[in-house]
Chain A
Amino acid sequence: MKELILGNAAVARGLYEAGCSIASSYPGTPSTEITEEAAKFPEIYCEWAPNEKVAMETAFGASLAGKRSFCGMKHVGLNVAADPLFTMGYTGVNAGMVIAVADDPGMHSSQNEQDSRHYARAAKLPMLEPSDSREALEFTKLAFEISEEFDTPVLLKMCTRVAHSQSVAELSERVEPKARPYEKAPGKYVMAPANAIKRHPVVEERLERLSKWAGTAKINRVEEGQDNKIGIITSSTCYQYVKEVCGDRYPVLKLGMVWPLPAELIRGFAAKVSLLAVVEEGDPFLEGCCRGLGLALAGKDCFPLTGELSQNIVAEKLGLPVPEGKGLSEELPSRPPVMCAGCPHRGLFYTLKKLGCTVLGDIGCYTLGAMPPLGAMDMTLCMGASISGLHGFNKALGAESEGKTVAVIGDSTFMHSGMTGLANVAYNQSNSTVIILDNSITGMTGHQQNPTTGFNLRGDPAGKIDLEALCRAMGIERVRVVDPYDLKACEEAVKEELGASEPSVIISRRPCALLKYVKHKPALTVDRDKCRGCKACMKIGCPAISIKDGKAHIDGTQCVGCGVCGQLCGFGAFKEG
């Protein structure tokens, strides 16, 4: 059966058809839907782990136990999971194990543009890279076969345009894999030096065999062209851009496996063409390997290192006609993403700005607190860095910063890698003030449950970690909860905790306004006679408030009646609806 299917959903379908039984992931754009879609198949146990390292180790344990397993993450998540990744090449697997990693060239929803292919090379693991949904499904199934045949975890590399594009794929039925009961094999699975020393040559020998396999694999194929003047080596979505503009004009070596690479196939292809071009997003990865084979080529000297490629860029660089479009000549106002109307983070960020705090931030919707008019963020680095960064900041500056610097981190991010930072605050004793923005969900990636929400991936009741008790157990005695819709209470809490002479945690608690179970109040209205047009209400950057004819105006379709604006008005102009 053919279906128009999202790339991520096609990976999930591939997991189902391949007989995968266990999936453990941490959400991250553009990878999230793989595990959400997989959870729709009752045959696959799916969970959100607290972070990618835990997810990968969970999947590894399941593989060891004899079940085909999966973990999925975004590119930066693989940094978190890099520790198990590098040693899993040594242990190999029992049942097949596939790791999906989704890169985000162009940074649609990411803090960097790192190229995950380096991990395959560095960890000495095979990596497949589909270019559309059909391949996403097929490569997922193939990855399990490779995993079991070569006794290795297999990386499946997605990117935004493959993950978040729908294209046509052929669906088939699930096939249950043959049983692989766990057998004790400490020489293979206990990676103490004495055993690991013996396993390293196994890794190198496996790579050799994989490289040979890559030379004959159907997923690495030469598509002949009419003109051998130029020959193009490419993979992933770049292959689609090349085919879009070239059709069958130039020959193409389409790589479905980007590590290890088929040296002889590449050499043979290069020998047939006058000019070899490598078209790839991100780093000169394929290019570097080709240059390593002694091949002359056009690569990143021609194509950009940063951002996404597109059919127009590829056409231009290959000297083909580029369509022209005509926009308006005037500059249009930009439309950056904003915190939603009723977002519980807004009141807290307003307070931090008002008090002139230095704010070390973290990864989530609340990173939008850096945007004007709130502009209340000084640093965002990676998951969890707010708390550990604050500890270092305070150790460096002491009392000078302790009274005015805070860390802000979401509930899910705190579970992911904020806890260890707080352990450092408690253990090495910095007088730090940590604010956990508890909106009771993982917001930015589209509402995933986490260990603090009390529900699992499928929405069923689950274990619930008590944040207050957890912080106290770590040795933080000053733990308090505040409602971010109450500006007075927020200000009081932040002032008092910054003033205290010991570390403290403020939990700013209110569920995300977009959650279905959150009941909204009627939209507020503005009494135009009372409004003086002072724009005090505009300081919170609520998308539901604007100035119309000199007075505040509320967009009734957006306002959820949170009442934060009303607390800023000195004239009582905001009325409950």
Chain B
Amino acid sequence: MDTKNIMIVGVGGQGSLLASKLLGHLLMGRGYDVKVSEVHGMSQRGGSVVTFVRYGEKVCSPVIDRGQADAIVSFELLEAARWLSYLKPGGRVVTNTQQIDPMPVITGAAEYPSGLVEKMEAAGAKVDALDCLGLAEEAGSAKAVNLVLLGRLSHYFDFPGEAWQEAIEACVPGKFLEINRKAFELGRGTE
């Protein structure tokens, strides 16, 4: 099979690390070669952050380049739009509708763009936009946005539900397990 590419994007501090850890665990368990590339350091301080997840028979490059992502999973709307050029033509965007103002917007030097979902669709992307923060809060914690997004993403894999459940159990600390399971199901069930 060709190598598949998933990008996880968001704002530094939103906690995308659990999402990439869980995907890595899941994909290793399915017998794939996997590479996951992360960002550490300066840009983590509230900056735009990206994690690359690649899997297949044999994966070479640890990063994803423009026009190569099968899916972009985004914790924040503007960040989904920022990385859109990395999506393959007709690729899938799964994004949280939450908006976090970047500093140029906070200081008034720029405006937060409107209609981003429509604009991304007009550019040819298939977009799943959902209120992950609301669903995470419904599940019991605003920090479970991760699992809501993964739940939604799970629609686009042929992996059985048990494989996802096993990965969640392996990667989420015990005391948060129930909340995260629920968040995953809420994301998965959203139509």
Name A residues whose Cβ lies closer than 8 Å to a Cβ of B.
4, 6, 29-30, 32-33, 108-109, 132, 161-162, 164-168, 237, 240-241, 243-244, 310-312, 322-328, 330, 332-340, 365, 368, 371-373, 444-446, 535, 538, 541, 543, 545-547, 557
- B-side contacts of A243, CB under 8 Å: 60-61
Closest to B58 in A: A243
- A-side contacts of B116, CB under 8 Å: 328
Residue of A325, A337, A340 touching B86 (CB-CB under 8 A)? A325
- A-side contacts of B104, CB under 8 Å: 333-334, 336
Give, as a whole number of angstroms, the nearest-CB distance from B171 to chain A. Answer: 12
Task: Give the 9 A-B CB pairs with smallest separation, nearest first.
Answer: A109-B41, A327-B85, A323-B67, A325-B67, A29-B41, A337-B47, A165-B62, A333-B110, A335-B102
* 12 A-B pairs whose Cβ atoms sit less than 8 Å apart in the complex: A4-B28, A166-B36, A168-B34, A311-B63, A311-B68, A326-B89, A328-B116, A333-B78, A334-B104, A340-B46, A368-B45, A372-B109
In Å, the complex CA distance between A310 and B60 comes to: 12
In Å, the complex CA distance between A117 and B65 comes to: 26
Residue of A168, A327, A328, A336 touching B33 (CB-CB under 8 A)? A168
- B-side contacts of A365, CB under 8 Å: 45
In Å, the complex CA distance between A166 and B32 comes to: 14
Q: B65 and A326: CB pair below 8 A?
A: no
- B-side contacts of A538, CB under 8 Å: 106-108
Q: A543 and B106: CB pair below 8 A?
A: yes
In Å, the complex CA distance between A398 and B103 comes to: 37
- B-side contacts of A541, CB under 8 Å: 103, 106-107
Closest to B143 in A: A557
Closest to B33 in A: A168
Q: Which of B24-44 contact A (CB under 8 A)?
A: 24-25, 28, 33-44
- B-side contacts of A324, CB under 8 Å: 66-67, 89
Q: A166 and B65: CB pair below 8 A?
A: no
Having A237-B61, A311-B63, A328-B116, one finds 19 other A-B pairs with CB under 8 Å, namely A4-B36, A32-B40, A109-B40, A161-B37, A166-B34, A168-B28, A240-B61, A244-B61, A312-B66, A323-B65, A326-B89, A332-B78, A333-B113, A334-B102, A335-B11, A336-B102, A538-B107, A545-B106, A557-B142
B12 at the interface (CB under 8 A from A): yes
Q: A323 and B43: CB pair below 8 A?
A: no
Q: A546 and B28: CB pair below 8 A?
A: no
Knowing A108-B42, A109-B43 are in contact, say whether A167-B62 is a contact too (CB < 8 A). yes
Q: B106 and A108: CB pair below 8 A?
A: no
Q: B103 and A336: CB pair below 8 A?
A: yes
Q: B47 and A338: CB pair below 8 A?
A: yes
Give, as a whole number of angstroms, the nearest-CB distance from B173 to chain A. Answer: 15
Residue of A161, A327, A335 touching B103 (CB-CB under 8 A)? A335
Q: Which of B51-108 contact A (CB under 8 A)?
A: 59-63, 65-68, 78-79, 81-82, 84-89, 101-108
B140 at the interface (CB under 8 A from A): no
- A-side contacts of B107, CB under 8 Å: 372-373, 538, 541
Q: B102 and A108: CB pair below 8 A?
A: no
Knowing A4-B36, A109-B41, A240-B62 are in contact, say whether A328-B123 is a contact too (CB < 8 A). yes
- A-side contacts of B179, CB under 8 Å: none
Knowing A4-B28, A241-B61, A326-B124 are in contact, say whether A332-B35 is a contact too (CB < 8 A). no
B155 at the interface (CB under 8 A from A): no
Knowing A328-B123, A335-B11, A335-B78 are in contact, say whether A161-B102 is a contact too (CB < 8 A). no
In Å, the complex CA distance between A312 and B61 comes to: 11
Give, as a whole number of angstroms, the nearest-CB distance from A299 to chain B. Answer: 21
Give, as a whole number of angstroms, the nearest-CB distance from A302 to chain B. Answer: 18
Q: A337 and B42: CB pair below 8 A?
A: yes
- B-side contacts of A164, CB under 8 Å: 37-40
Q: B67 and A335: CB pair below 8 A?
A: no
- A-side contacts of B65, CB under 8 Å: 310-312, 323
Q: B113 and A332: CB pair below 8 A?
A: yes
In Å, the complex CA distance between A338 and B66 comes to: 26
Give, as a whole number of angstroms, the nearest-CB distance from A223 to chain B. Answer: 12
In Å, the complex CA distance between A322 and B65 comes to: 10
In Å, the complex CA distance between A240 and B52 comes to: 15
- B-side contacts of A6, CB under 8 Å: 38
In Å, the complex CA distance between A109 and B47 comes to: 12
Closest to A538 in B: B107
- B-side contacts of A557, CB under 8 Å: 142
Q: A333 and B37: CB pair below 8 A?
A: no
Q: A165 and B103: CB pair below 8 A?
A: no
Q: A333 and B66: CB pair below 8 A?
A: no
Give, as a whole number of angstroms, the nearest-CB distance from A86 to chain B. Answer: 28
B120 at the interface (CB under 8 A from A): yes
Residue of A161, A326, A445 touching B123 (CB-CB under 8 A)? A326
Q: B113 and A330: CB pair below 8 A?
A: yes
Q: B47 and A325: CB pair below 8 A?
A: no
Q: A165 and B44: CB pair below 8 A?
A: no
Q: A340 and B33: CB pair below 8 A?
A: no
- A-side contacts of B105, CB under 8 Å: 333, 546
Q: B84 and A244: CB pair below 8 A?
A: no
Residue among B28, B35, B40, B110 facing the most chain A CB atoms (10 A cut-off):
B40
B112 at the interface (CB under 8 A from A): yes
Q: A325 and B103: CB pair below 8 A?
A: no
- A-side contacts of B89, CB under 8 Å: 324-326
Residue of B28, B33, B85, B111 touching A325 (CB-CB under 8 A)? B85
Closest to B107 in A: A373
In Å, the complex CA distance between A338 and B123 comes to: 30
Q: A167 and B110: CB pair below 8 A?
A: no
Q: B60 and A244: CB pair below 8 A?
A: yes
Q: A167 and B67: CB pair below 8 A?
A: no
Residue of B46, B101, B102, B123 touching A327 (CB-CB under 8 A)? B123
In Å, the complex CA distance between A237 and B65 comes to: 14
B48 at the interface (CB under 8 A from A): yes
In Å, the complex CA distance between A418 and B18 comes to: 37
Knowing A30-B40, A243-B60 are in contact, say whether A325-B102 is a contact too (CB < 8 A). no
Q: B34 and A167: CB pair below 8 A?
A: yes
Closest to A32 in B: B40
Closest to B106 in A: A546
Q: B42 and A444: CB pair below 8 A?
A: yes
- B-side contacts of A311, CB under 8 Å: 61, 63, 65, 68
Closest to B11 in A: A335
In Å, the complex CA distance between A326 and B121 comes to: 11
In Å, the complex CA distance between A330 and B82 comes to: 10
Closest to B28 in A: A4
Q: B42 and A161: CB pair below 8 A?
A: no
- A-side contacts of B123, CB under 8 Å: 326-328
- B-side contacts of A372, CB under 8 Å: 103, 107, 109
